[in-house]
Structure formats: C-alpha cells, structure tokens
Amino acid sequence: MSGADGPGGGASSATGGPVAGLLTRLFGTESDVVRDRTFQVLLLGSVISPMGSSVVSPVLESLAGPYGVSVARVGLLMAAFTAPSIVAIPLVGALSDRVGRRPVLAAGLALFGVAGAAAALTTDFRVVVGLRLLQGLGYTGIGPVLIASVGDLYAGEREATAQGVRFAAVGLSLAVFPVLAGALVSAEFRLPFALFLAAIPVALVVLLVFDEPTRADAGDGADADGEDSLFGRLRDPLVLAALVGRAVPSFLWFAFLTYASVVTGRLLGGSAAVAGLVVGLASLGSALGGTQVGRLTAAFDGRGAPLAVTMALCGLGLAGFGLATSLAVAAATAAVVGAGFGTVLTLYRSTVTGLADAGARGGLVSVGESVGRLGSTAAPLALGGLVTVGAPVVGFEAALRYTVLGTAVLGTAVGAALGLLAGRAHTDAGPGVDDDGPV
C-alpha cells in the first residue's frame, strides 16, 4: 500500500466544504485521512490513551492527604502507571505483529478501563498503586498499537499527517479530562478514577468495527536475524539513537505533569481546579503542535532539524514553568511546554514508524514506546529524589525550581543532539521502508 493510495483516498483528495477546508488549514493537504473508518476508530482509541496520566496528574496533591502519604510519595501513582510499559510494551508490540492489532488493542482498552475505575472502590494507597500497575499494563496494548496501526495504513507525509491528526485527538482529550478530574476531586477524591470507565465502550467498538490494517505473519520479511528484522534494526546505532531520543520529550513532559499541581497549588496558591486548567492548557498546546507535523515534514528535507528545534521549544517552556512567579506565567509557559512536546513527540513517532517495514513495525514502535515510558517513569522518581535531597539545604521552593530548571536545560541539550541523529536514521532508512508504505 503506498502513501498515495492508502485508505481515505489520494494524497490531496479532500473534498470541498467548510469542514474539509478547516481540516486542510489545520493539518495540510493530507487531512482527508479523517474520512477513513479504520482511522476514525484509531482516533476514538486515541481519546482514551492519554487518560492514564491526564486524569491523575492534576489531582496528585489533592490525593496525598486522603491517602495519608507525602507529596513526594504520591508521585508513585504516576510511576506505577508507566513502569509496566518498560518491559511489557516490546512484548505486546511483537505480539500485535503476529496475532493482529485488533485483539491486542481491545484487550488493552478493557484492562485499562477496569483497573483504572476499580481504584475508585478503595482508600488503600497500596491497592491503588497496584491497580495503577495493572492499568499501565493495559496501556501497553493501546498507545503503541495505535501508533503502529497508523504506520500500517499510511506512509510518508500522509503518515506524518495522520500521526498529527491522531495526536490532536490525544491533545483534545488531554485538554478535557484534567479539567473534569480537577472538578471531580473537589467533590470526592475517588471520583476522578470513574472517568476510566470510558475505555470499556471503546474496547467494544474496536472489536465490532475495527478493520485490521495489517497482519504480518511470523515468516514475512527477512529472517529473524536479517537487517530488516526487529533485531536487525536494533543493531543500527542510528536507530538506537532515535529510540533513546524518544525518551527525552517524555521525561520532560512527565516532569511537568508531576509538578504541575505543586507549582500551581503550593507555590502559586492555585486550587486543584486551576491546576487542572493549567494541565488542560498544556494539553491543548500539545494538540495544536501535533497538527503541524505534516507541514513540518513537507517543509524540511529531513527530520533532524524539526526534531531538534521542537525539542528546544519543549525545554524552554519547562524552564519558564519552573521559574513562574504567577499563575498567568505558569499557564503561558505550560502551553509552550505542550506545544513543543506535542510536536516533537509526534515527529518522533512518525520517524520511528518509518524505520521498519510492516513485519517489524509493531515491535520497533513498541521498543520506542517502552523507552519513552522509561523516560516517563524516571521523571517523577528522579525529580522527587532531587527535590527531597535539596529541600533541607535550600528550602522546598528553591529545590523544586532549580530541579525543574536543570532538567529543562539538560533535557534540551541531550534531546536536540539525539534528534539530529534520529533524522539521519530516518534518511538512511530510505524510500524502501517509508515512502513506499507498508510491505
């Protein structure tokens, strides 16, 4: 299937009308991908995929008291959710290459919804941490499978646009659910977990409606040790650099998510509802950033420069957020963090899908997502440790601000360098993998 002839029509086949015109202005000439029913199911799943972090992040400080734990320890609710992905995502991704995307996606959504909603039934912090681990395991069958499925359907600029549209759906979800969570936690601290029930009907839709983009047999493509196999791609140093670089934006984003409520609440005097609005604004920025990925890939010859620049934008926003002295500044810099994150993450995901053919794509995408989850998991643990060590020396506020600022500076430098290497990996992959579409 070529990028020009994939589902939804040709590369520039958007029909007329105000809606089509708006989509073209937002996403570019490939925006007609939204007419494909299979892609629409992927968009529905994309609304669910970010809820594991967006529902819990803005209410973390509000949960510390009811659960009887410190602000630093309540961050385990974020780490517990991301931890299973480090090991499980590559296995689940390889499984989806063999048995198909649909059963893995449906099962992941069901576990995600049931485990997440069950947290509303207990007040035991240890039980909630365990349920978050199970919910994180469910996520391993959602996010990476959605990303790989887009790569199955499209290629080239069309694939990049589709990833941007999908991430816009993620961003809109991120803009809505933090606000709902912030409002619900004020009424009863367990209510935000009930929002995860939304995953159950989506799992049913996947089972009933989703048309499998591809089903790569175990014997397809090169042999298990060949250059085009998963392990063959992992032996390429530039591919490894691209996968490691994928972790940096996730680290910076989770640094923001973990301390968004602390900065806006404890340091700036905002309520949980205000924290939800700030996270929602950052998420809206991420949605808008993701819409421009198709245009960026069309405007540049390679992926390196866009990856480096948007990584710097994310780091600049995080630094500004860490130094914010008012809620207005915090809100503005949060939007910058989101815009940078949404763009660079979508670019990375589009880049990684172009580094393997259909027989290894699910596995390689899943390895990238696993590395990304490693960054997500490490952020609350690393920053929490630094703040805990620094607080007795310079005070809690100074320790928090210096930690966030240092994270932003170091993350920008490392992320920009790895982004340039990732761009080289994508160029070296050549037209045989990306521009001609799945094989």
User: In angstroms, rounded to a whole number, what is the distance separating the alpha carbons of residues 306 and 313?
Assistant: 11
DSSP code of residue 57: G
Residue 56 has pLDDT above 70, yes or no: yes
**What is the arithmetic mean of pLDDT over 18-30?**
59
**What is the arithmetic mean of pLDDT over 330-342?**
92
Verdict on whether the full-model pTM lies above 0.75: no
User: In angstroms, rounded to a whole number, what is the distance separating the alpha carbons of residues 189 and 8?
Assistant: 44
Mean pLDDT over the full length of the chain: 81
Higher pLDDT, 224 or 76: 76
What is residue 318's predicted lDDT score, i.e. its pLDDT?
95
What is residue 266's predicted lDDT score, i.e. its pLDDT?
85
Tens-digit pLDDT profile for residues 339-372 = 999 889 888 888 887 777 666 677 787 788 778 8
Instruction: Report all structural domains of the chain as residue ranges with CATH numbers, in order of start.
Output: 30-213+232-429 (1.20.1250.20)
Q: How confident is the model at residue 216 (pLDDT cuts 50, 70, 90)?
A: very low
Higher pLDDT, 428 or 227: 428
Residues 153-162 as b or e (16 or more Cβ within 10 Å = b): bbbbbbbbbb
Structural contact between residues 158 and 33, judged by C-beta atoms closer than 8 angstroms: yes
What does the block give as tokens for 388?
Answer: 């805990």
How many Cβ atoms from other residues are within 10 Å of residue 316's Cβ? 17
Tens-digit pLDDT profile for residues 120-170 = 998 899 999 999 999 999 998 998 888 888 878 887 777 777 877 887 787
Higher pLDDT, 180 or 72: 180
